[in-house]
Chains A and B, each alone.
Chain A
Amino acid sequence: MSVLSLIIKREYSARVRNKSFLIMTFLSPLIIVGMVMLITYLTQLNSDTKRTIAIVDDSGLFAASFSNTDQTTYLNLSDQGFDTAKELAEKDEYYGLIHIPKDRKTLVDQVKFYGKETPSFGLVEAIEKKIEKRLTNQNLIERGVDLDVLETSKINIDLSIENYSGEKSSKMSNWIKAAFGGAAGYLLMMFIIIYGNMVMRSVIEEKTNRIIEVIISSVKPFQLMMGKILGTTLAGVTQFAIWVILGIIMLTVAQAVFGIEPSSTTAMSSEAQAIASDPDKITEVVEEVMKLPLLQLVIGFLIYFVGGYFLYSSIYAAIGAAVDNETDTQQFMLPIIMPLMLAIYVGFFAVIDNPHGTVATVFSIIPLTSPIVMLMRIPFEVPMWQLALSVFLLIGSFVFTVWFGSKIYRVGILMYGKKPTYKELFKWLRY
Chain B
Amino acid sequence: MSSLLVADTVSKSFGGFTALNGVSIEVPKGSIFGLLGPNGAGKTTLIRIINQITMPDTGHVQLDGAALAQHHIRDIGYMPEERGLYKSMKVGEQVLYLAQLKGLDKSEAKKRAKYWFEKLEIGNWWGKKIQELSKGQAQKIQFVVTVMHNPKLLIFDEPFSGFDPINANLIKDEILQLREEGATVIFSTHRMESVEELCDHIALIHKSNKILDGEINHIKRQYRNNTFEVGVEVDKDAFAKAESQLISKFQTTPAQFKSLGEELKLRIQLGDQGSPNALLQELQSYGQVTHFVEVIPSVNDIFIQTVNQSL
Q: B96-111 vs A: 1/0 string, CB under 8 Å?
A: 0110111000100000
Chain B neighbourhood of A215, CB < 8 A: 98, 101
Query: Given A3-B101, A219-B101, is A214 in contact with B15 using a C-beta cutoff of 8 Å?
Result: no
Give the docked Cα–Cα distance between A178 and B112 (Å): 59
Chain B neighbourhood of A206, CB < 8 A: 86
25 A–B contact pairs at CB < 8 A? Answer: A1-B106, A6-B97, A10-B97, A14-B89, A209-B85, A211-B85, A212-B84, A213-B78, A213-B80, A213-B82, A213-B84, A214-B84, A214-B145, A217-B51, A217-B53, A217-B76, A217-B80, A218-B98, A218-B102, A220-B70, A414-B48, A414-B53, A430-B15, A431-B14, A431-B54
A177: min CB distance to chain B, Å: 45
Give the docked Cα–Cα distance between A414 and B97 (Å): 21
**Is residue A143 contacting chain B, with contact meaning CB distance below 8 A?**
no
Chain A neighbourhood of B102, CB < 8 A: 218
What is the total number of residues of chain B having a CB less than 8 Å from a CB of chain A?
29
Q: B159-190 vs A: 1/0 string, CB under 8 Å?
A: 00000000000000000000000000000000
Give the docked Cα–Cα distance between A142 and B13 (Å): 95
- Known contacts A213-B82, A219-B73; 6 further A-B pairs (Cβ under 8 A): A6-B100, A10-B97, A210-B82, A210-B84, A214-B78, A430-B15
Chain A neighbourhood of B48, CB < 8 A: 414
Contacting A at CB under 8 A, from B107-162, are 142, 145
Chain B neighbourhood of A431, CB < 8 A: 14-15, 54
Query: Given A3-B101, A215-B101, is A209 in contact with B78 using a C-beta cutoff of 8 Å?
Result: no
Contacting B at CB under 8 A, from A183-214, are 206, 209-214
Chain A neighbourhood of B142, CB < 8 A: 214
Give the docked Cα–Cα distance between A420 and B234 (Å): 68
Shortest Cβ-Cβ A-B pairs, 7 listed: A210-B84, A211-B84, A213-B80, A218-B101, A210-B82, A217-B51, A217-B78
Q: Is there an interface contact between B84 and A1, defined as CB atoms closer than 8 Å?
A: no
Partner of A218, one of B15, B73, B79: B73
**Is residue B83 contacting chain A, with contact meaning CB distance below 8 A?**
yes
A211: nearest residue on chain B (CB-CB)?
B84
Partner of A211, one of B15, B86, B106: B86
A213: nearest residue on chain B (CB-CB)?
B80
Chain B neighbourhood of A3, CB < 8 A: 101
Q: Is there an interface contact between B84 and A217, defined as CB atoms closer than 8 Å?
A: no
Q: Is there an interface contact between B98 and A214, defined as CB atoms closer than 8 Å?
A: yes
**Is residue B218 contacting chain A, with contact meaning CB distance below 8 A?**
no
B311: min CB distance to chain A, Å: 30
B83: nearest residue on chain A (CB-CB)?
A210
**Is residue A427 contacting chain B, with contact meaning CB distance below 8 A?**
yes
**Is residue A216 contacting chain B, with contact meaning CB distance below 8 A?**
yes
Give the docked Cα–Cα distance between A427 and B16 (Å): 11
Give the A-binding residues of B (Cβ under 8 A): 14-15, 48, 51-54, 70, 73, 76, 78-80, 82-89, 97-98, 100-102, 106, 142, 145
Chain B neighbourhood of A6, CB < 8 A: 97, 100-101
Give the docked Cα–Cα distance between A80 and B74 (Å): 100
Give the B-binding residues of A (Cβ under 8 A): 1, 3, 6-7, 10, 14, 18, 206, 209-220, 414, 416, 427, 430-431
Q: Is there an interface contact between B53 and A209, defined as CB atoms closer than 8 Å?
A: no
Chain B neighbourhood of A1, CB < 8 A: 100, 106
Give the docked Cα–Cα distance between A213 and B88 (Å): 18
B73: nearest residue on chain A (CB-CB)?
A218
Give the docked Cα–Cα distance between A215 and B79 (Å): 11
A207: nearest residue on chain B (CB-CB)?
B84
Give the docked Cα–Cα distance between A10 and B88 (Å): 12
Chain A neighbourhood of B100, CB < 8 A: 1, 6
Chain B neighbourhood of A216, CB < 8 A: 53
A1: nearest residue on chain B (CB-CB)?
B100
Give the docked Cα–Cα distance between A218 and B94 (Å): 14
Q: Is there an interface contact between A214 and B14, defined as CB atoms closer than 8 Å?
A: no
Chain A neighbourhood of B54, CB < 8 A: 414, 431
Give the docked Cα–Cα distance between A206 and B82 (Å): 12
Give the docked Cα–Cα distance between A47 and B132 (Å): 56
Q: Is there an interface contact between B73 and A217, defined as CB atoms closer than 8 Å?
A: yes
Give the docked Cα–Cα distance between A218 and B103 (Å): 9
Chain A neighbourhood of B85, CB < 8 A: 209, 211, 214
A427: nearest residue on chain B (CB-CB)?
B15
B85: min CB distance to chain A, Å: 5
A2: min CB distance to chain B, Å: 10
B149: nearest residue on chain A (CB-CB)?
A218
B18: min CB distance to chain A, Å: 13
Give the docked Cα–Cα distance between A14 and B129 (Å): 13
B157: min CB distance to chain A, Å: 9
Chain B neighbourhood of A211, CB < 8 A: 84-86
A12: min CB distance to chain B, Å: 12
Give the docked Cα–Cα distance between A218 and B85 (Å): 14
A431: nearest residue on chain B (CB-CB)?
B14
Query: Given A214-B98, A218-B102, A431-B14, is A209 in contact with B84 using a C-beta cutoff of 8 Å?
Result: yes
Give the docked Cα–Cα distance between A416 and B81 (Å): 13
Chain A neighbourhood of B14, CB < 8 A: 431
B131: nearest residue on chain A (CB-CB)?
A209
A208: nearest residue on chain B (CB-CB)?
B84
B224: min CB distance to chain A, Å: 39
Chain A neighbourhood of B15, CB < 8 A: 427, 430-431
Q: Is there an interface contact between B87 and A209, defined as CB atoms closer than 8 Å?
A: yes
B61: min CB distance to chain A, Å: 14
Chain B neighbourhood of A414, CB < 8 A: 48, 53-54
B51: min CB distance to chain A, Å: 4
B85: nearest residue on chain A (CB-CB)?
A211
Give the docked Cα–Cα distance between A430 and B15 (Å): 8
B80: nearest residue on chain A (CB-CB)?
A213
Give the docked Cα–Cα distance between A278 and B171 (Å): 79
Chain B neighbourhood of A214, CB < 8 A: 78-80, 84-85, 98, 142, 145
Chain A neighbourhood of B79, CB < 8 A: 214
B155: nearest residue on chain A (CB-CB)?
A217
A218: min CB distance to chain B, Å: 4
Chain B neighbourhood of A427, CB < 8 A: 15
Chain A neighbourhood of B145, CB < 8 A: 214
B177: min CB distance to chain A, Å: 22
A220: nearest residue on chain B (CB-CB)?
B70
